[in-house]
Structure 1
């Protein structure tokens, strides 16, 4: 009998590990550059695995999942010198493990309220993770699903994450129990409603605004061939990469390109962006608010203000700024019509950081109804329209992206209210914990 029990336990652990491996691979290929349409189911195998394991093994299962996501994103070509590049994925894996523990504590996930508690835990952990050096959002797995992203106009990225975490938990529980549940039925209906709302919102908003032809310069902006491409593109506004020129080169570059140019440069310890005009004028610089971890000597900026131009107010967010919600929200509360993003991403195998960072831009655009022009120094430059649709993108090497976007005064309900949903999730979780404790006291006769 003991041998049979041990054999059954070993089988359960093996199946759980298989589920964790599957979930890591699914999430890895749901993210860019693979972009397979698996984001809505990617983490479900993990939530199916947690019910047959000892509770203490659930965090280890999360770490395994995170490691596999990182290895997949980096093309399984991680050199020894790049092992540190896996750290953000391991931190994400820790968060997955904690949400798994919450799911175990909640227990029966057949009810919608129960899976929403699990979703709230995922949102809260993402919010707390945003105070670390590598924020991660579940919604990056569905960054190309433009109708779904329209929910962000109301809730920000947090509503997308709430639905995804809840859906993964509900589907995983249904797989583990081998039965369809009321929670799954409710979430399918909610998902259909979100997509219907999104399609209506896109139909209403996408064609509105003034057309503006924009360019993103990828590579050395002083290269004569790239300058010539900008001149021939009939662009009205251009963005170049982060810290790619000296400040004194800005106005001569704008004159050569013949258009206003958002430039990136260093100045007295600040990582700066400004707009240089062909007439010899240049705006006061914006200072990067969120320096990356390797920019230890960089002085962070304290606020973001858009630059006045003939096309309306244009804002700047420098590279890592877009991983946080506050920079674009400040700009859009001041009615910016477009945001330029000079960028210089850290290099990792398979350009994993380039692709993952790029994925956040469709979400940021959808949150505030604002077009984004991202100019990267080597790869994955992109232009996103005001509903969060990717309309132009580049691979590796020097390039000039050009397209026309509609610009209009930005702003949504999320722009106005800000990050309210994580606070609601915190209250919901606290209420759930108190309610469970109250139930325990009653059952013990206290």
Structure 2
């Protein structure tokens, strides 16, 4: 028997599991146990999605990095075989997709237009402004009633205020775009709901682009509008870019703030290390470790093969979908010692929480700085911070593209 075809045959003749898979009860921070089993025994295997399609699930860290960096792998959601997360998300991408769901050269052309705003140097210059935002919100927490929902009072406002300032979006509109952002990333949304939501957001961003064309300011949307004026972007492309930056710029970081806080509260020894440290390197390490440990992008990164690709003894055929399960990849014992243990001193910078290759997260420098400031400030200023409910009562976001908590009641 051909040794290359054997794993493919084995994977297809056993029962194909449904994906996404369920987390274990009482283990809100860990990937589903079935994913760990697949990584150990069938690291490249078929899974069944909502529409009956059976893409390849990639569960080993090194295989994920290899495929994410392979030009024969496409992120274009319009291609046949692309493994969409749900009917609603498929409809939304059909209605309006952005450069993150395009391949080079179009992906690179549009991405370059906004890359400078998220450079490490530019983002570092924002540290004092972000620190003021964080301190101001903590002042309000300390002056207000207890218990309080940390999501609404702190985790969501921090990145929303920052991205609004950066983009030039009025923070007064935060309830409008936060509500629609949540609906946009819900895997349970119907196609009709997803299309209606994306149209509302695009109409809103198109209006802002129009305002920036008339009255340019010192913000990122004004730079995007200038590309429209120069004929390098259409108005609809500019609105789509604005929507992407606005939604991604607050949803992911907000969930990392809240879920990271919950994880640290549940690991008091690690929380003490963060709270008592005055070393910026330890705080930076804690951010990387929490990104690795929590993996809020928990439905896998989706791709489709452009050519036949041999990986891990399996031949993935052109046109077949790929689901790269970064949550279990970041728990790979071949790469991370004691991967299921939270260790804020680990500093696992090679993790794939932000992806890898040309499509890795554009805003990761900003997310890192925001999280460093939050983790380095919140627990020091409120040293008695603790849950105001049993952890079993905390509502978890199992139904979204981004994992986290809907509420986090805390007191001190």
Scaled by the length of structure 2, what TM-score is found?
0.31
Higher relative contact order (CA 8 A, sep 6+): 2
> Normalized per residue, which structure has more strand?
1
Q: Which has the larger radius of gyration?
A: 1
Q: What TM-score do the two structures reach when normalised by structure 1?
A: 0.29
